[in-house]
Structure 1
Amino acid sequence: MSEVKELFSITQQMVHKFRRSNHSDREELIKVFENFVENRDRLMKDIDPPYTDEEKQLGQEIIKLDEELKVLVIKYLGSIQQDISVMSKKKLSNKKYINPYASLYGIDGSYIDKRN
């Protein structure tokens, strides 16, 4: 199989994985994506001109799939960042619930009279 066909195939598989992904298999999807990037880099280095008409058409399809993959990855990373934000807010809320007076400073119980 030529490098262009293989690149098209793995890009297509990656797009399908991101389309079907849910939040329960994040770690697995990230590992698969890292592997995809490594394979893609290797294949991109091995692709040399001249290109056949079929390879040119597959190249155009790869570009379209790549754009779609970028959008899916950005959306997926956004959902991860949103979950991290929610978790940090929950953590802060729990700390405030446990010790509501921790944010107040100067609670030493003293009173200064200024009438002199």
Structure 2
Amino acid sequence: MIRASLLRWQEVSRQILTVSANTSEEQRDDAIEKISNLLDERDRLQADISPPFTQAEDELGQSLMQLEKQVVQALERYKQTIRSSITATQSKKEHVKSYVNPYANVSRDGTFYDTKS
């Protein structure tokens, strides 16, 4: 007999994998919110998962360990995607600023100033 909390943990982990696979920028805010809610649910489920485990639960636990590695990798990839998107956006902002005001970052060293006028 496998506890319902272990089965729900497995289901939530698979949902995290599914949601994190969607990397479109239009749906990113919704995906982040869903992932956050799913991780919160897993935290609540973790309190119900404690020894002693049955033989079936041990076997399921081994597959959950593999699934957990996949979840960690998927979330890391998702974080990298977000980070690269933020970097690209900041780069675009700087490019637009330099296009609007091309002389903003010109060095003034060696410029002659007439102080007698």
Shared fold (TM-score, shorter chain, > 0.5): yes
CA contact 2:20–2:35 (8 Å) conserved in 1: no
Decide whether the 8 Å contact of 1:3 with 1:47 is kept in 2: yes
Residue 104 of structure 1 and its aligned partner are, at CA, apart by 2.1
User: What is the distance in 2 between the residues matched to 1:37 and 1:2?
Assistant: 17
Structure 2 counterparts to residues 73-88 of structure 1, below 5 A: 73-88=75-90
Which of structure 1's runs of 4+ aligned residues deviate more than 4 A?
none
TM (norm. structure 2) is 0.83
| Runs of 5+ consecutive residues of structure 2 not aligned to the other structure | none
Determine if the alignment matches structure 1 residue 101 to structure 2 residue 103: yes
Distance in 2 (CA, whole Å) between partners of 1:93 and 1:109 is 29
AA partner of residue 73 (structure 2): V
Question: What residue in structure 1 maps to residue 23 of structure 2?
Answer: 22
Deviation, 1:16, is: 2.4
2:47 pairs, out of 37, 45, 48, with: 45
Give the unaligned 5+ runs of structure 1. Answer: none
Shift of 1:18: 2.2
Q: Give % identity.
A: 26
1:13, CA displacement in angstroms? 2.0
Separation in 1, partners of 2:14, 2:100: 50
| Number of aligned positions between the proteins | 111
Residue 74 of structure 2 is aligned to residue 110 of structure 1: no
Q: Given that residues 23 and 78 in structure 2 are in contact (C-alpha distance below 8 angstroms), is that contact kept between their aligned partners in structure 1?
A: no
Deviation, 1:105, is 4.7
The amino acid across from 1:16 in the alignment is: T
